[in-house]
């Protein structure tokens, strides 16, 4: 029983460390802020989750100690990491960071221009256009 | 929903007082009987039987975990690929969800979906701006996933 628990604990901690390595590699290798943000926010979340879960299981099975703080840490990490990624991406866009690659579409730019000029009718037309685009694609 | 849970707790305490045993086991027993009573009288409440909502919430949490794992496998593939040949882009996604917490949950789910991240939400809360790591294969496939997310979230919030 203890041996199986040990195997599971080792698996969790190693997988967590692996995802952290991938996150670090992604931050070095990927070309711009947004893609790096993808790697950092996703891989690091699951990495921390796995390591914390491994720690929790270690203390629970080997030392017979139920540590609820680790579980709360997992929950908070789960809720806050995507929000942090979202805010970083938004702040980067608004301070004028360009996306890598020339041919990618950018619907957000149009929206910001409409918002700056404060023309509500143009915004309505823009929204209709987007909805029609989505409908045409799903057909 | 809160009304039904409160009533169920009240019925649990009622069972404890009726049997004059003041232990957690008696409370749990009373809670289960109370659940049965509320199920029988479900048509007198203005919202549906609350266990359905609890189940759909658990389903949403499971989708959340599954998507997190899938997204990480996708990230591993992108990072370890020798050639960087993707085309990143931002596309607009109109949503039909209305309440603030629903939109927040949808945004968090999209951020944890393979290859997508929410950049901003329009001021009238009707369009999400999503950054995709590779726009070509992302768009069609991701629309389908989001349909299932929106459905799962609506299932929780339905009265």
pLDDT digits 0-9 by tens, A33-69: 888 888 888 888 889 999 999 999 999 998 989 989 9
Query: A111 and A96: one domain?
Result: no
**Rounded CA Rg of chain B:** 22
Hey, what are A27's tokens?
Answer: 């931050």
Do the beta carbons of residue A18 and residue A69 sit within 8 Å? Answer: no
Does one domain contain both A28 and A82? Answer: yes
**Which residues in A lie closer than 8 A to residue B69 (C-beta atoms)?**
46
Shortest Cα distance, chain B CAs vs residue A8, angstroms = 17
**pLDDT tens per residue, range B64-87:** 888 888 888 888 888 888 877 778
Q: Domain extents for chain B?
A: 2-44, 59-157
For residues A48 and A9, membership in a common domain is answered with yes
Q: Which pLDDT does position B37 carry in this prediction?
A: 92
pLDDT bin (cut points 50, 70, 90) of residue A138 is low
Both A20 and A57 in one domain: the answer is yes
CA-to-CA dists, residue B15 to A97, B19, B34, B42, B63, angstroms: 63, 6, 9, 20, 37
Q: What is the pLDDT of residues B12-38, one digit of tens each?
A: 999 999 998 888 999 999 999 999 999
Is residue B25 within 8 angstroms of chain A, CB to CB?
A: no
**One domain, residues A56 and A88:** yes
pLDDT tens track for B133-158: 877 766 666 677 777 888 888 888 87
Q: Which residues span the domain enclosing A120?
A: 105-138
Cα separation, B40 vs B49, whole angstroms? 10
Q: Are strands B116-121 and B89-94 parallel, antiparallel or unpaired?
A: unpaired
Q: Which of A15, A23, A39, A42 to mutate to test the interface with B (most CBs of B within 10 A)?
A: A42
Whether residue A19 sits in one domain with residue A60: yes
Helix (H, G, I), strand (E, B) or coil at B127: strand
Choose among A106, A43, A101: nearest CA to B85: A101
Q: Using CA atoms, how far apart are residues B105 and B97, in angstroms rounded to an integer?
A: 10
**Do residues A15 and A51 share a domain?**
yes
Contacts of B133 in chain A (CB under 8 A): 34-35, 38
Q: Give yes or no: residues A123 and A86 share one domain.
A: no
Domain count, chain A: 2
Interface confidence (ipTM) of the complex: 0.80
Q: Is the model's pLDDT at A24 over the cut of 60?
A: yes
Please name the residues in contact with A89: beta carbons below 8 A apart, sequence gap of 6 or more.
A33, A34, A37, B117, B118, B119, B131
Check pLDDT > 80 for residue A125.
no
DSSP label at B51?
H
Nearest-by-Cβ selection for B72 from A46, A85, A111: A46
pTM metric for this prediction: 0.82
Contacts of A114 in chain B (CB under 8 A): none
**Tokens representing B20?**
């004059």
A122, A82: one domain: no
How open is the CA angle A18-B141-B149, to the nearest 5 degrees?
80
Question: Residues A21, A70: one domain?
Answer: yes
**Averaged pLDDT, B79-106:** 83
Closest CA to A29 of A45, A14, A43: A43
Which residues does chain B have within 8 Å of residue A37's beta carbon, measured at their own beta carbons? 117
The whole-number pLDDT of residue B46 equals 84
Instruction: Write down the pLDDT at residue B140.
Output: 67
**Nearest CB to B89 within list A42, A45, A105:** A105
- In this structure, the answer to whether residues A131 and A79 fall within a common structural domain is no
Could you tell me if A79 and A111 lie in one domain? no
């Amino acid at each position: 029983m203890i041996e199986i628990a040990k195997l599971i604990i080792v698996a969790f901690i190693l997988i967590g460390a692996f995802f952290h390595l991938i996150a670090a590699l992604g931050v070095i290798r990927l070309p711009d802020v947004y893609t790096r943000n993808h790697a950092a926010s996703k891989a690091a979340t699951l990495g921390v989750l796995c390591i914390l879960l491994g720690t929790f299981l270690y203390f629970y099975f080997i030392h017979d100690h139920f540590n609820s703080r680790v579980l709360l840490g997992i929950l908070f990490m789960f809720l806050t990491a995507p929000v942090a990624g979202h805010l970083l991406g938004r702040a980067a866009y608004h301070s004028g960071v360009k996306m890598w690659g020339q041919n990618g579409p950018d619907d957000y730019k149009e929206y910001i221009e409409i918002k700056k000029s404060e023309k509500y009718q143009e915004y309505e037309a823009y929204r209709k256009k987007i909805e029609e685009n989505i409908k045409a694609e799903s057909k | 929903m809160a009304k039904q849970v409160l009533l169920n707790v009240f019925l649990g305490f009622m069972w404890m007082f009726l049997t004059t045993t003041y232990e957690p086991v008696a409370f749990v027993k009373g809670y289960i009987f109370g659940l049965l009573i509320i199920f029988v009288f479900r048509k007198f409440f203005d919202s549906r039987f609350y266990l359905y909502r609890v189940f759909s919430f658990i389903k949403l949490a499971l989708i959340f975990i599954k998507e997190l794992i899938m997204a990480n496998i996708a990230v591993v593939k992108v990072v370890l690929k020798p050639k960087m040949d993707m085309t990143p882009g931002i596309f607009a996604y109109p949503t039909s969800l209305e309440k603030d917490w629903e939109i927040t949950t949808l945004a968090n789910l999209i951020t944890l979906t393979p290859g997508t991240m929410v950049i901003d939400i329009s001021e009238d809360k009707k369009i999400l701006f999503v950054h995709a790591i590779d726009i070509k294969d992302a768009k069609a496939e991701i629309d389908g996933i989001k349909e299932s997310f929106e459905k799962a979230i609506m299932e929780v919030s339905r009265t």
